[in-house]
Amino acid sequence: MARSLSFSCTACGAGHGKWSGRCDACGAWNTITEEAPLSPGPAKTALGARRGVRIPLGDLATEEAPPPRTRSGIDELDRVLGGGLVPASAILVGGDPGIGKSTLLLQAAASFAQAGLKAIYVSGEEASAQVRMRARRLGLGKAPVRLAAETNLRNILTTLEEERPDIAIIDSIQTMWADNVDSAPGSVAQVRAAAHELTTFAKRRGLSVVLVGHVTKEGQIAGPRVIEHMVDTVLYFEGERGHQFRILRAVKNRFGPADEIGVFEMTGKGLAQVHNPSALFLSERDTPAPGSVVFAGIEGTRPVLCEFQALVAPSPHAQARRSVVGWDGGRLAMILAVLEARCAVPFAGFDVYLNVAGGMKISEPAADLAVAAALLSARESSALPSDAVVFGEISLSGALRPVSQAESRLKEAQKLGFSRAIVPAGTRTGAQAGPELNAIPDLAGVVGRFFGARKPR
C-alpha cells in the first residue's frame, strides 16, 4: 500500500515521504512543507470489489458544434482566451503579487457583466469596500458585478449554487479555505482541494470560474503550478514592477492556441489595452546605438517587434559576468560559444549583459540571430543600420536556419517603417513587396557583412 505522504512541495505539489531541502520533482529549493494528508485513512474497499456503472462510449467522427463564446469586449483578453469566454470553463490567472491581477479581473468582470453575463467577484484578500473603491477609481462603479468578501469555500459554493452566475472570479485561490481539509489556507492540500471543488462545481453547474493564483518564490504558500493541470486555461500575468507594460500570456488553453499574448499598460485608471505592442516596445528606442537590435518575433498568432540590447565590457573580475534579462541564459551561452568557435570573435575577459527592452520575455529560437547581432554590435561598437530588423535561428555549426512565419514578421516590420531585414538564406517570403532582404547563409557571413571581415578559425 502507498505510504501516506506528509510533506509536499509548494511549487509543484509533489508529495514526499520526508522533508528535504530540494524537491526532486521540480528542482525548487526550500519549498517542501509538512502537511496533513488530503484524505486521511486507507480506502475502505478495494476499487474492483464493487461493481461500477457502465460508461457510454462515443466515437471520434461525431461532429460537435464549437463552444459558444462570450467576448468581454477587451480584445487583448478575448484573444488570449482563444476568442472569448467558454461556458463551464476553469481559468487560472497566475502572477506575482502586486502585478495587477485583481485590477485586470475586476475590469474583466465588469466587461463580461456589461456584455450580459451574470458576474460574481469574490475577494478573499480585500474587504468589499476596498474593491468598491477600486472599481470607482477604474470608472466601473456602475457595472452590474455582484461582490462578496469571503474565504470560506462552503459558503461560496452555496452562494454560487443559489445565485447561478455565468462567471465567478475567486481572488485568490490561496486565501480560500475548505473546512473539510485539515491544513492552513495557502497550503498545497487546501489550494488543491479548493481548486478541485471549484472546477468540478463549474463543470457540473455550467458556470465559468476564474481562479487568481499568486506566484510565490518563498515557498510559504502554494503557487499556481500546483493546480495548473486541473483547469482548462492557464494565463500568466507578467511584467516588471518598474515598467508599466503588462503581458497576459496563455501557457495552456484547451479552447484556443497557447502562447497567445495580450498586452496592457498600467495607468492611473487601471489597465489600458495596447493594440500595437510593437510600436510600444520600440517607442523608447534611441537613435541607432551599438548593441541595439530590433527582433521581429511572433507571440502566439501575432507578430511583435521588440528590441534586444547588449553591453559588452572588459571584465574586472577573474570570472567574467554573463547577465541576461528576458531571454534564456543557456541559449546566450550557446550563441557566445558559436561566435567564438565559428566566427573567431572572442568574448573571454568581457562581461556580457543582454536585455529585452520593455520587460518583454522572449523564448523563440528565432531570436538567436538578433541576440548574436546585438552581441557583435556591442562588442565591435558598431551599430546595425537603424532601418533593419533581424530574425533567424543559429545552429551549433554557425549556419543560419530559416524560421516559421517569416511573412508575418516582415509585414509587421514594414508596417513599422523598417525597410531592411537580415534573415537566414532560404527564408521563404510571399510575392508582395516587403522590406529588402539581406539573406545570409551563416553567422560568419553576418560578421563579414556588418562588422568587418574576420578570418574563421
Measured from the CB atom, the residue of 94 and 290 that comes closer to Mg ion is 94
Q: How far is the CB of 191 from Mg ion (least distance, A)?
A: 16
| CB nearer to ligand TYD: pick between 82 and 100 | 100
249 forms part of the interface with ligand TYD (CB under 6 A): no
The smaller minimum CB distance to ligand TYD, of residues 100 and 291, is found at: 100
- Which residue reads 555549426 in cell numbers? 397
Residue with cell 530574425: 391
Window 269 to 288, contacts with ligand TYD (CB under 6 A): 269-270
- Our CB check for ligand TYD shows the closer of 267 and 287 to be 267
Min separation Cβ 132 and ligand TYD, Å: 12
Q: Looking at beta carbons only, is 169 or 367 nearer to ligand TYD?
A: 169
Please identify, among the stretches 29-37, 74-82, 153-161, 267-275, the one whose residues bind ligand TYD according to the rule CB under 6 A.
Answer: 267-275
How does 64-98 read in b/e, with b if 16+ C-beta sit within 10 Å?
Answer: eeeeebbbbebebbbbbbbbbbbebbbbbbbbbee
Q: ∠297-91-327 over CA atoms, to 5°? A: 30
Tell me the CA distances in angstroms from 405 to 77, 302, 375, 418, 430, one per residue in order: 23, 10, 25, 17, 10
Q: Which of Mg ion, ligand TYD, none sits in contact with 116, Cβ below 5 to 8 A by type?
A: none
247 beta partners: 238, 263
Angstrom distances, CA of residue 92 to CA of 178, 236, 268: 18, 8, 26
Residue 360 lies near ligand TYD (rule: CB under 6 A): no
**Binder to ligand TYD among 266, 345, 370, 447 (CB under 6 A)?**
266
Q: Which is nearer to ligand TYD, 97 or 417 (CB)?
A: 97
For residue 134, state whether it binds ligand TYD (rule: CB under 6 A).
yes
Q: Residue 103 interacts with Mg ion (CB under 5 A)?
A: no
Report, in Å, the least distance between residue 104 CB and ligand TYD: 7
Tell me how far, at minimum, the Cβ of 326 lies from ligand TYD, in Å: 20
Residue 136 CB contacts under 8 Å (≥ 6 apart), including other chains: none
Of the pair 122, 324, the CB lying nearest ligand TYD is at 122
- CA-wise closest residue to 90 among 156, 185, 170: 170
Instruction: CB nearer to ligand TYD: give 133 or 344.
Output: 133
Strands 32-34 and 15-16: unpaired
Could you tell me how many residues make up the chain?
457
- Cβ of residue 107: shortest distance to ligand TYD, in angstroms? 9
| Closer residue to ligand TYD (CB): 273 or 405 | 273
Cβ contacts of 332 within 8 Å, gap of 6 or more: 322, 324, 352, 354, 371
Out of 8, 102, 183, 208, the residue judged to bind Mg ion by CB under 5 A: 102
Can you give the C-alpha Rg of the chain in angstroms?
Answer: 26
CB 403 within 8 A of CB 350: no
Q: Is 68 in the site for ligand TYD (CB under 6 A)?
A: no
* Residues 6+ positions from 202 with CB-CB distance below 8 Å: 88, 89, 90, 168, 208, 209
Q: Which does 266 bind (CB under 5 to 8 A by kind): Mg ion, ligand TYD, none?
A: ligand TYD
Decide: is 137 part of the binding site for ligand TYD (CB under 6 A): yes
The CB-of-382 to Mg ion minimum distance in angstroms stands at 47
When asked if residue 268 is in the footprint of ligand TYD (CB under 6 A), the reply is: yes
Residues between 74 and 133 with contacts to ligand TYD, criterion CB under 6 A:
95, 97-103
User: Which among ligand TYD, Mg ion, none contacts residue 329 (Cβ within 5 to 8 A by kind)?
Assistant: none
Phi, psi of 276 (to 5 degrees): -125, 80
- Could you tell which of ligand TYD, Mg ion, none binds residue 137, using a CB distance below 5 to 8 A set by kind? ligand TYD
On whether the CB atoms of residues 237 and 104 are closer than 8 A, the answer is: yes
Q: Which residue blocks in 226-304 are alpha helix, DSSP H?
A: 277-282
As a whole number of angstroms, the distance between CA 217 and CA 247 comes to 20
Q: Which is nearer to ligand TYD, 66 or 268 (CB)?
A: 268
Residue ranges in contact with ligand TYD by CB under 6 A? 95, 97-103, 134, 137-138, 266, 268-270
Interface residues toward Mg ion, by CB under 5 A: 102
